[in-house]
């Protein structure tokens, strides 16, 4: 998802009676649905995994502004422009809520930023794809935010209090994101042949990468099992992917667009669709840093950070000067 | 690289007139003025509030989880502090 492939260091999930008393008490609190708060004792692995997961999630929100930011100046109407601007601004806010949550675990904002900028920390694979036409703004809102919602709604119940609270705020705003995207798709799908063609082309390009957002199957992963025991992951990747497909296919039908998968078929027995797996070789290649836009994204983030240095310094100097004046006056 | 350690601020927002300020989250800012400006952008993009408080996190004193017992246990055996402790007969009417 927004935090794909968060590797934990554990060797498997311990049973309650294999745990030291402190860890056992911690796990029992989680089992009982208690929220863990920043000053509570927690296992080092829980803290470490959460920093990675929340950090990756935050970075995804921030880098995720770039593919859509690409179209703000070229939105077809002033209203669409204002909407897109508000949507992208929300994503900046999501990044900030999440950085705040990560910071309560003892990592600093600057450390996280540094790890994003030098490539030690990742962000979601989806944001390494280009946005080639205006229809992509529709597809991104509809599919990418739609997939994000699938993952974020259950995370509102995650065991770590600050993370759960950030998710509540984020989910409130995501529904606007998905709807504005679907609204663009509706307009284009009911427009001229050329517009309809653009809408179909956007769906064709974003379908596979959207399915990849959930990450590869993790039914047999010890990492996922541990995260699920800690309730920092609420569903398996396949489970969420299936839910996403089941929900999205009828929406595509409504639009009169074709999901680009010839194996897509309703399966009465499982009460869901059968569908093709996305290209996992491509996914791993993108994660290795070979996405079509990876270099561009990293350059854009680094440039924004470097070009903003004088503003940050200036504001700090101003604050120091004001403080000094106040002290002198007292 | 560093933002020169902009301090962390805790943000409290009054949701509507008549309500108390509620903690909504935190953010970094060089000074109080910027903390309020940033809070406006981060936490009130949809008219979530009518007033913002910002306070440096380092200025907040907090109880610690270990104190839970000594702070709150004494209230355990004082159920008579709640109105529901007292049975008032129906014929008395609303009280
Ligand atoms: Fe978001
Ligand atoms: Fe979003």
pLDDT at residue A127 above 60? yes
ipTM score of complex: 0.85
Q: Name the pairing type of β-strands B51-56 and B21-28.
A: unpaired
pLDDT at residue A1 above 70? no
Identify the architecture of domain B3-62 in CATH. Answer: Roll (3.10)
Residue-wise pLDDT tens digits, A288-330: 999 999 999 999 999 999 999 999 999 999 999 998 998 888 8
- From its phi and psi, is residue A106 left (phi > 0), alpha (psi between -120 and 50) or beta? left
Query: What value does the mean pLDDT of chain A take?
Result: 94
**Partner A contacted by B61 (CB < 8 A):** no
Q: What is the pTM of this model?
A: 0.92
pLDDT at residue A88 above 60? yes
pLDDT at residue B1 above 50? no
Residues 6+ apart with CB under 8 A from A45: A8, A9, A10, A226
Query: Which among B6, B8, B41 has the least Cβ separation from residue A316?
Result: B6
Residue-wise pLDDT tens digits, A226-282: 999 999 999 999 999 999 999 999 999 999 999 999 999 999 999 999 999 999 999
Mean local confidence (pLDDT), A126-140: 98
User: What's the pLDDT band for B2 if we cut at 50, 70, 90?
Assistant: low
CA distance A100 to A108: 9
Which span out of A182-191, B5-14, B41-50 was modeled with the highest average pLDDT? Answer: A182-191
- Distance from the A60 Cα atom to the nearest Cα atom in chain B, whole angstroms: 17
Q: Where are the alpha helices (DSSP H) in A143-236?
A: 145-155, 161-189, 193-212, 222-229
Binding-face residues of A in 182-241 toward B, CB within 8 A: none
State CA B14 to chain mean position distance: 10
Mean local confidence (pLDDT), B68-87: 86
Residue-wise pLDDT tens digits, A19-60: 999 999 999 999 999 999 999 999 999 999 999 999 999 999
Binding-face residues of A in 131-170 toward B, CB within 8 A: 165-166, 169
Query: Which among A97, A100, A316 has the least Cβ separation from residue B4?
Result: A316
Binding-face residues of B in 8-37 toward A, CB within 8 A: 8, 25-28, 30-31, 34
The bound ligand whose nearest atom lies closest to the alpha carbon of A174 is 2
Mean local confidence (pLDDT), A190-201: 98
pLDDT given at position B77 = 86
């Amino acid at each position: 998802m927004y935090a794909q492939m968060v590797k934990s260091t554990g060797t498997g999930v311990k049973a309650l009676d294999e745990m030291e008393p402190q860890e056992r008490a911690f796990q029992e609190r989680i089992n009982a649905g208690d929220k863990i708060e920043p000053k509570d004792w927690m296992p080092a692995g829980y803290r470490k995994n959460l920093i990675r997961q929340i950090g990756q999630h935050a970075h995804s929100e921030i880098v995720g502004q770039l593919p859509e930011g690409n179209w703000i100046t070229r939105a077809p109407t002033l209203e669409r422009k204002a909407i897109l601007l508000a949507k992208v601004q929300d994503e900046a806010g999501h990044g900030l809520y999440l950085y705040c949550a990560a910071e309560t675990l003892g990592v600093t904002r600057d450390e996280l930023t540094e790890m994003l900028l030098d490539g030690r920390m990742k962000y979601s694979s989806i944001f390494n794809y280009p946005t080639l036409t205006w229809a992509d703004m529709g597809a991104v809102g509809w599919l990418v935010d739609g997939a994000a919602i699938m993952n974020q709604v259950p995370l509102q119940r995650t065991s770590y209090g600050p993370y759960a609270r950030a998710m509540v705020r984020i989910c409130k705003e995501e529904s606007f994101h998905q709807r504005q995207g679907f609204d663009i798709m509706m307009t284009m799908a009911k427009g001229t042949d050329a517009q309809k063609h653009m809408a179909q082309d956007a769906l064709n390009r974003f379908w596979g990468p959207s399915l990849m957002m959930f990450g590869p199957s993790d039914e047999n992963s010890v990492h996922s099992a541990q995260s699920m025991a800690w309730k920092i992951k609420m569903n398996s990747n396949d489970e969420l992917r299936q839910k996403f497909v089941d929900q999205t296919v009828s929406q595509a039908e409504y639009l009169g667009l074709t999901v680009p998968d010839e194996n897509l078929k309703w399966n009465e027995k499982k009460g869901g669709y059968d569908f093709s797996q996305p290209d996992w070789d491509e996914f791993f290649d993108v994660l290795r840093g070979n996405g079509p836009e990876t270099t561009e994204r990293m350059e854009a983030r680094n440039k924004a950070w470097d070009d903003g240095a004088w503003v940050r310094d200036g504001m700090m100097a101003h604050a120091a000067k004001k403080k000094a004046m106040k002290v002198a006056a007292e | 690289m560093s933002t020169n350690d902009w301090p962390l601020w805790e943000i409290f927002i009054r949701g509507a007139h008549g309500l108390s300020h509620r903690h909504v989250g935190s953010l970094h800012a060089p000074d109080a003025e910027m903390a309020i400006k940033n809070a406006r952008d981060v936490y009130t993009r949809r008219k979530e509030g009518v007033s913002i408080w910002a306070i440096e996190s380092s200025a907040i004193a907090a109880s610690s989880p270990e104190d839970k017992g000594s702070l709150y246990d004494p209230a355990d055996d004082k159920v008579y502090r709640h109105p529901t402790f007292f049975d008032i007969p129906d014929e008395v009417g609303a009280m």
